[in-house]
Amino acid sequence: MDIAVAKRRSSFSGKFFAAAVLITICFVMFKQSLNSSSHNMFSYHEAGVTHVLVTGGAGYIGSHAALRLLKDSYRVTILDNLSRGNIGAVRVLQKLFPEPGRLQFIYADLGDAKAVNKIFSENAFDAVMHFAAVAYVGESTLEPLRYYHNITSNTLLVLEAMAAHNVKTLIYSSTCATYGEPEKMPITEETTQVPINPYGKAKKMAEDIILDFSKNSDMGVMILRYFNVIGSDPEGKLGEAPRPELREQGRISGACFDAARGIIPGLKVRGTDYETADGTCVRDYIDVTDLVDAHVKALAHAQPGKVGIYNVGTGKGSSVKEFVEACKKATGVDIKVEYLSRRPGDYAKVYSDPSKVRKELNWTAHYTLQESLQIAWRWQKSHLNGYGLSNAMG
């Protein structure tokens, strides 16, 4: 009797044990299949596949860059803490490229050195496109530390992680704001950089850190200094959707669309007595699709131990008045325009000489101001609420 009971018990616990083992195995296999289809492909270098880390890839320019890279068969990891970008843009990309090993999104803060290091040790990046930053001149004068922290110090962190994990190529987002207000136009790469606001200074400092580091390293570096970026994906997959609270800081294209939609009563043009043909400020507007094309070309041309610095602009200046006319045509709305006195800190004329990037990277801008605005307006009209989900995780 005793023996029989013990036997039954042991066979019961044996079955229980076997079931537990089976469940554990299933669970482990399930987890592994989840991982191996997505995570593991990002952890190893694969011959013929270039894995690009896109920091700030949920943002305006970064999301467009990720789209282009994915179209061109790159493997992409987006790192963003959604402090400014849109998870909706990432969702669009995930839907377009659901295959394993194409795109992964990592929610992390670049200011967190430990987290960044872990990400670099768990992923096999071949290159970094470093877009993540805060990027409003006005805000930078009010909150300079935010700019030095999130631009300069975070770039240092990215560079340290790249060095520690042997990532060999960096494409850096810089800006014409690093030149300040040069006397002579157009701006070439040799124009002396004298930035006049914390945004431009923080970017210049980040450039200097990168340049000093690269003197003694075999990293291939491309620094792209963008002019005024406008437009959106011509297929209408992505657009520009800044947080409502950032609208005030905003850029002229956003203001133009807001005025056309009646969200704001009209456009305020600040300054009509500048030394320009029509008295309003002149800027060089570069389309975002053209801009990301320059990034892909820069990536292809990057060489170990070399640094390339390029202005990315159209080479053609447009006045605010011309911009407003193009905006009216693109939207078909007769936007009300109010002319006010100058805003402090604006300079009369800024436009690029893009001949170096044309010669060395075979890149030129294709979109006209009018075309860019037309494309962007189409997205704005069909996405009145931006990405909709933009604040869901931010």
Ligand X SMILES: *[C@@H]1O[C@H](CO)[C@@H](O)[C@H](O)[C@H]1NC(C)=O
Ligand Y SMILES: NC(=O)c1ccc[n+]([C@@H]2O[C@H](COP(=O)([O-])OP(=O)(O)OC[C@H]3O[C@@H](n4cnc5c(N)ncnc54)[C@H](O)[C@@H]3O)[C@@H](O)[C@H]2O)c1
Could you say which of 104, 150, 178, 318 contacts ligand X (CB under 6 A)?
Answer: 150
Place of tokens 């990301």: 292
User: Residue type at 298?
Assistant: A
The nearest distance, CB 147 to ligand X, in angstroms, is: 8
Could you say which of 41, 52, 53, 59 contacts ligand Y (CB under 6 A)?
Answer: 59
Selection from ligand X, ligand Y, none that 229 binds (CB < 5 to 8 A by kind) is ligand Y
Neighbours of 60 (CB within 10 A): 23
Catalytic residues: 199
DSSP state of 190: T
Could you say which of 36, 38, 83, 249 contacts ligand X (CB under 6 A)?
Answer: 83
DSSP of 77-106, one letter per residue? EEEE--SSS-HHHHHHHHHH--STTTEEEE
Helix (H, G, I), strand (E, B) or coil at 116: helix
Selection from ligand Y, ligand X, none that 198 binds (CB < 5 to 8 A by kind) is none
Could you say which of 81, 169, 228, 372 contacts ligand X (CB under 6 A)?
Answer: 81
Specify the residue, 56 or 386, whose C-beta has the smaller distance to ligand X. Answer: 56
Could you say which of 26, 145, 164, 277 contacts ligand X (CB under 6 A)?
Answer: 145
* Secondary structure of 225-247 in HEC code, one letter for each residue: EECEEECCCCCCCCCCCCCHHHH
Q: Verify binding: residue 134, ligand X, rule CB under 6 A.
A: yes
Place of tokens 């068969």: 73
The nearest distance, CB 262 to ligand X, in angstroms, is: 30
Place of tokens 């709305």: 333
User: Residue type at 25?
Assistant: I
Selection from ligand X, ligand Y, none that 362 binds (CB < 5 to 8 A by kind) is ligand X
Q: Verify binding: residue 111, ligand X, rule CB under 6 A.
A: yes
Q: Verify binding: residue 155, ligand Y, rule CB under 6 A.
A: no
- 113, 97, 254, 379: CA torsion to nearest 10: -170
Q: Verify binding: residue 82, ligand X, rule CB under 6 A.
A: yes
Q: Verify binding: residue 60, ligand Y, rule CB under 6 A.
A: yes
Q: Verify binding: residue 137, ligand Y, rule CB under 6 A.
A: no
Q: Verify binding: residue 173, ligand Y, rule CB under 6 A.
A: yes
Q: Verify binding: residue 173, ligand X, rule CB under 6 A.
A: no
| 224, 294 Cβ separation under 8 angstroms | yes
Q: Verify binding: residue 146, ligand X, rule CB under 6 A.
A: yes
Could you say which of 13, 35, 166, 362 contacts ligand X (CB under 6 A)?
Answer: 362
User: Residue type at 36?
Assistant: S
Q: Verify binding: residue 360, ligand X, rule CB under 6 A.
A: no
Q: Verify binding: residue 330, ligand X, rule CB under 6 A.
A: no
DSSP of 1-65, one letter per residue? -HHHHHHHHHHHHHHHHHHHHHHHHHHHHHHHHHHHHHHHHHHS-BTTB-EEEEETTTSHHHHHH
Q: Verify binding: residue 152, ligand X, rule CB under 6 A.
A: no
Token pair in block for residue 170? 């960096």
Q: Verify binding: residue 35, ligand X, rule CB under 6 A.
A: no
- Judged by the rule CB under 6 A, the positions of this chain that interact with ligand X are 81-84, 109, 111, 134, 145-146, 149-150, 362, 394
